[in-house]
Amino acid sequence: MVDVPLGVAGVPPAEVEDVELYHPKSWVTHYVFSQDAKIIAVQYSVTALSIGLVALMLSWLMRLQLAFPGALSFIDADAYYQLITMHGMMMVVYVLTALFLGGFGNYLIPLMLGARDMVFPYANMLSFWFYLLAVVVLFASFAVPGGPTGAGWTLYPPQSITAGTPGLAWGIVMMLVSLMIFIVGFTMGGLNYVVTVLQGRTRGMTLMRMPLTVWGIFTASVMALLAFPALFVGAVMMLFDRLLGTSFFMPEIIEQGARLPYGGGSPILFQHLFWFFGHPEVYIVALPAFGIVSDLISVHARRNIFGYRMMVWAIVAIGALSFVVWAHHMYVSGMNPYFGFFFATTTLIIAIPTAIKVYNWVLTLWRGDIHLTTPMLFALAFIVTFVNGGLTGLFLGNVVVDVPLSDTMFVVAHFHMVMGVAPILVIFGAIYHWYPKVTGRLLSVPLGQFHFWVTFLGAYLIFFPMHYLGLMGVPRRYYEMGETAIYPPSAHDLNIFITVMALLVGAAQLAFVFNLIWSLRHGRGAGGNPWRACSLEWQTSATPPPHGNFGKELPIVYRWAYDYNVPGAPEDFIPQNQPPLAGEIASRAP
């Protein structure tokens, strides 16, 4: 069960002497320019969640336009494309990536590994401020002449930098610069997460004793360090095409009879660069979610995770495979059709490690002592949603099925299910789970249950009908369906239904925001370990954890993070830093 024999008298001595912490001297260095990973995590999370609310409101406007075309006078085709672009880019990069890696990564990695802090706290601080600068530049593009870019979140050239696309003057430049700043900032953070996991663990914490949350975030960080360079290079080249008149991505173009000063470039090159980043990005978001949901299920079902080793290898395998599937986003791009065969094959192979994970989650639940707490509800909802989104992925991964479905609402429904709703359900679950550690207070349960049911059911009411629209052939990125005869009236009615549901689900998030703020003062006191969990972050000397995370002595780890309901143990969980119990070796020899 555990790879290292329990209780073979011991644990190796400390290889690195305890770090000397940076002690902030003023309120500003304590809470604003903080070098403490826990504060940085909260800064990241609050920023990302705020952007999430903005992006949610952008999606409301889009939905209103689709359901009631022309009802909102300020939304014309240009505005609609700007909404779609900003919603997509914000959600994928500035919310999900930042929240999982910058937020949960910063908070959980040092605490779960028994470290005092990240290994480079100063670079960690810079990481957040670069991120904030990127966000400021992104939001500033709402205020510049011509508004933000409307190129779609994939920013495909040539349309993204030719006339007719809104935001040609300033918006696209701001977007590319913002992405570059984000990547620089992320690199500083990502190096921290990776090195902390590799080199900064406490005594007894082997890689194969790490909670799966850390495995997920670690693998995602490595992937991000290797995938973001492609986006960076693509952004630099497109910026040159736009500002210097180079033609990396720009073929010869005749515009209204006039030849543009471009020629000889390859638009498909950008798509390759973009998706070499873009596909790993899906798993950069999904792997931390996989890890976190494994821990939530194990804790709240009071049962050890099933097949821990396979779960780890599945995470690593998915991470590696995701670098060789990128062109499945490009079946209709005009690339060599033979590529489609290769990329369809690699894409479908990913289903194997993913299926291993789903089976293991379900087998963890099997005969478990399931507590339907709010985090558990979100975790269960994730499994269902992820399976749904994954199955439509099989449709889209096959070339012949993908071609007719390309650029329809089916694609929108698929990726919202699999990388929108599913990871966000995990984010909610994780916040309900770790909020007591961050603040010392539990979130309100009735509000949480209300939030869960509205969000979970509502998300299905929004996105299930969208699959149907897509199968009917309703295209994505059209700002109105118009009076086209090929769509039956039911399509228009469904659009209205989806919009009403989107408004309801969006509004229900206010309950979550209220819960977060209200419980900060009025929540029930949580104590140090309200969920009776094994992993180290629940064994800190105080809650919320103090500067330096643990008391004078760092914890020593004797076991994996999943010792729930061990026969013969006095309680139904054994913390990771609990030395072997009497008689444990005999009964639980690996």
Q: At 582, give phi and psi (nearest 5°).
A: -60, 130
Cα separation, 571 vs 590, in Å, equals: 21
Which DSSP string corresponds to 500-540?
A: HHHHHHHHHHHHHHHHHHHHHHHSPB--S-TT---SGGGG-
Q: Which of 54, 64, 132, 203 binds other proteins (CB under 8 A)?
A: 203
Q: Which helix (H) or strand (E) holds 259?
A: strand 258-259
Tell me which stretch binds other proteins (CB under 8 A): 265-273, 296-304, 346-354, 409-417: 265-273
Does 261 bind other proteins (CB under 8 A)? Our answer is: yes
CB of 196 to other proteins, least distance (A): 8
Q: Which of 136, 207, 352, 391 binds other proteins (CB under 8 A)?
A: 207
The residue type at 124 = N
Cα separation, 397 vs 395, in Å, equals: 6
Taking residue 172's Cβ as centre, other Cβ atoms within 10 Å add up to: 27
Which DSSP string corresponds to 377-419?
A: HHHHHHHHHHHHHHHHHHHHHSHHHHHHHTTBHHHHHHHIIII
- Bridge partners (DSSP) of residue 573 are 564
Tell me which stretch binds other proteins (CB under 8 A): 147-155, 202-210, 358-366, 430-438: 202-210
Q: Which of 50, 206, 345, 490 binds other proteins (CB under 8 A)?
A: 206
CB of 288 to other proteins, least distance (A): 18
Does 557 bind other proteins (CB under 8 A)? Our answer is: yes
Cβ proximity to other proteins, 201 vs 300, nearer residue: 201
Q: Which helix (H) or strand (E) holds 258?
A: strand 258-259
Which DSSP string corresponds to 117-145?
A: S-S-HHHHHHHHHHHHHHHHHHHHTTTST
Does 137 bind other proteins (CB under 8 A)? Our answer is: no
- Bridge partners (DSSP) of residue 287 are none
Q: Which of 264, 482, 567, 583 binds other proteins (CB under 8 A)?
A: 264
CB 219 within 8 A of CB 194: no
Tell me which stretch binds other proteins (CB under 8 A): 190-198, 308-316, 424-432, 514-522: 190-198
CB of 14 to other proteins, least distance (A): 7
Q: Which of 240, 313, 395, 487 binds other proteins (CB under 8 A)?
A: 240
254-255 vs 258-259, strand pairing mode: antiparallel
Q: Which of 195, 461, 472, 585 binds other proteins (CB under 8 A)?
A: 195
Cβ proximity to other proteins, 34 vs 373, nearer residue: 34
Does 263 bind other proteins (CB under 8 A)? Our answer is: yes
Tell me which stretch binds other proteins (CB under 8 A): 235-243, 337-345, 377-385, 513-521: 235-243
Does 105 bind other proteins (CB under 8 A)? Our answer is: no
Does 551 bind other proteins (CB under 8 A)? Our answer is: no
Q: At 199, give phi and psi (nearest 5°).
A: -120, -5
Does 160 bind other proteins (CB under 8 A)? Our answer is: no
Q: At 507, give phi and psi (nearest 5°).
A: -65, -35
Cβ proximity to other proteins, 201 vs 303, nearer residue: 201
CB of 572 to other proteins, least distance (A): 24
Does 184 bind other proteins (CB under 8 A)? Our answer is: no
Q: Which of 32, 72, 122, 546 binds other proteins (CB under 8 A)?
A: 122
Tell me which stretch binds other proteins (CB under 8 A): 1-9, 58-66, 444-452, 538-546: 1-9
Residue 419, C-beta contacts closer than 8 angstroms, at least 6 positions apart: 92, 96, 282, 285, 286, 389
For the packed helices 106-113 and 422-439, what is the interaxial angle rounded to 10 degrees? 60
Does 10 bind other proteins (CB under 8 A)? Our answer is: yes
CB of 137 to other proteins, least distance (A): 20
Does 205 bind other proteins (CB under 8 A)? Our answer is: yes
Does 237 bind other proteins (CB under 8 A)? Our answer is: yes
The mark string for 561-580 relative to other proteins (x by CB under 8 A, - otherwise) is ------------------x-
Coil, helix or strand at residue 376: helix
Tokens of 355: 């299926």
Tokens of 61: 């406007």
Taking residue 192's Cβ as centre, other Cβ atoms within 10 Å add up to: 27
Burial of 249 (0-12, 13-18, 19+ CB in 10 A): buried
Only one residue has tokens 């913390």, namely 575
Does 501 bind other proteins (CB under 8 A)? Our answer is: no
- Vertex 71, ends 69 and 75: CA angle to 5°? 75
Does 191 bind other proteins (CB under 8 A)? Our answer is: yes
CB of 266 to other proteins, least distance (A): 6
Q: Which of 69, 146, 152, 229 binds other proteins (CB under 8 A)?
A: 229
C-alpha dihedral (584, 585, 588, 590), degrees to nearest 10: 150
Does 548 bind other proteins (CB under 8 A)? Our answer is: no
Does 34 bind other proteins (CB under 8 A)? Our answer is: no
Q: Which of 244, 258, 486, 582 binds other proteins (CB under 8 A)?
A: 244
Only one residue has tokens 């992925």, namely 393
Q: Which of 162, 246, 346, 565 binds other proteins (CB under 8 A)?
A: 246
Cβ proximity to other proteins, 521 vs 552, nearer residue: 552
Q: Which residues of 203-242 are buried (b: 16+ CB within 10 A; e: fewer)?
A: bbbeeebbbbbbbbbbbbbbbbbebbebbbebbebbbebb
CB of 280 to other proteins, least distance (A): 11
Q: Which of 269, 320, 399, 457 binds other proteins (CB under 8 A)?
A: 269
Tell me which stretch binds other proteins (CB under 8 A): 62-70, 241-249, 305-313, 535-543: 241-249
Does 556 bind other proteins (CB under 8 A)? Our answer is: yes
Does 217 bind other proteins (CB under 8 A)? Our answer is: no
Question: For binding to other proteins (CB under 8 A), which residues are involved?
Answer: 3-4, 8-16, 20, 22, 119-120, 122, 187, 190-192, 194-195, 198-209, 225-226, 228-230, 232-234, 236-237, 240, 244-248, 261, 263-266, 269, 273, 276, 556-557, 579
